[in-house]
């Protein structure tokens, strides 16, 4: 029996990912907002914070280039939020219990859920790249850099999606997941996403931004846009995404076990 379940693993993941992706595609509103919103915010910030480029020591002359990394992060967050909410709906509606009655293993269940988020992360990353370039952002690292950028964005999407899954499994309500999203969003704001770390005036904020792993994710993406190939920035970004993935995946697995025991 165990062997049978294991051999069916890829098929199960495929099945569940397929369902997650179908769910996204069947509700286009779910796609439009997550994709449009970061672009609007980018445009708005490029205007609202344009004055910052006049500060001495600002690394580029265009706030658009500086902030282009942010939509990729937000795209990843939205993908995670969306996945988490879908999962929460499954929990609230009792669908998870139904899945739990089937021979599908917990790992396949998680992987299927994450597949949807990964899909959404990919679609949005490619779009931001295209729109960013169309509106005059230059990618300093060239075409190869653009490819690495998309890969990094995917790694980050996956890490965040693991977090969304964890919250959904722990709290079990869509409102809780949705409530968490802005908070996560603010983690982005407590990083160097909007202001270069060395120009941050408040020391405590500079310290937070230095310890905030999101800073390094942003800086990894940003390095490809504004400064070309920067091995250290890239290594840091990928490493942090990997660590977050492993950590939240473990927490999710535990939360899933608790939930399936409890309900």
Task: Tally DSSP H helices, then E strands, for the chain.
Answer: 12, 0
Buried b (16+ CB within 10 A) or exposed e, 39-67: beebeebbeeeeebbeeeebebebbbbbb
**37 to 76: interface string for other proteins, x by CB under 8 A:** x--xx-xxxxxxxxxx-xx---------------------
Nearest to 65 by CA among 190, 248, 224, 245: 224
- What whole-number distance in Å separates Cα of residue 173 and Cα of residue 91? 8
Binding of other proteins at residue 143 (CB under 8 A)?
no
Residue 201 neighbours by CB under 8 Å, 6+ apart: none
Binding of other proteins at residue 199 (CB under 8 A)?
yes
- What whole-number distance in Å separates Cα of residue 32 and Cα of residue 123? 11
Of the pair 60, 178, the CB lying nearest other proteins is at 178
**159 to 198: interface string for other proteins, x by CB under 8 A:** ------------x-xxxx-xxx-xx--x--xx---xx---
The least CB distance from residue 42 to other proteins, in Å, is 11
- Quick one: which segment of 24-32, 134-142, 148-156, 248-256 binds other proteins (CB under 8 A)? 24-32
Residues that bind other proteins (CB under 8 A): 27, 29-30, 33-34, 36-37, 40-41, 43-52, 54-55, 85, 89, 92, 171, 173-176, 178-180, 182-183, 186, 189-190, 194-195, 199-202, 204-205, 208-209
């Amino acid at each position: 029996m165990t062997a049978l379940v294991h051999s069916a693993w890829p098929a199960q993941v495929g099945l569940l990912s397929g369902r997650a992706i179908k769910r996204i595609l069947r509700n286009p509103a779910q796609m439009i907002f997550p994709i449009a919103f970061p672009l609007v915010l980018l445009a708005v910030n490029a205007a609202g914070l344009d004055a910052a480029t006049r500060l001495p020591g600002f690394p580029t002359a265009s706030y658009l280039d500086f902030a282009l990394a942010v939509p990729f992060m937000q795209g990843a967050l939205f993908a995670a939020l969306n996945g988490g909410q879908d999962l929460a709906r499954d929990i609230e509606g009792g669908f998870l219990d139904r899945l739990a009655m089937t021979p599908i293993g917990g790992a396949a269940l998680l992987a299927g859920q994450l597949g949807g988020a990964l899909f959404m992360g990919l679609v949005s990353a490619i779009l931001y790249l295209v729109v960013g370039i169309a509106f005059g952002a230059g990618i300093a690292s060239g075409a190869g850099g653009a490819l690495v950028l998309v890969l990094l964005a995917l790694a980050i999407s996956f890490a965040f999606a693991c977090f969304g899954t964890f919250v959904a499994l722990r709290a079990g309500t869509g409102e809780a997941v949705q409530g968490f999203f802005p908070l996560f969003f603010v983690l982005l704001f407590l990083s160097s996403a909007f202001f270069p770390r060395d120009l941050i005036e408040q020391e405590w904020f500079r310290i937070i931004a230095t310890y905030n792993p999101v800073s390094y994710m942003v800086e990894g993406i940003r390095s490809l846009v504004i400064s070309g190939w920067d091995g250290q920035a890239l290594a840091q970004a990928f490493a942090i995404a990997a660590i977050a993935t492993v950590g939240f995946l473990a927490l999710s697995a535990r939360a899933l076990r608790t939930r399936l025991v409890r309900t």
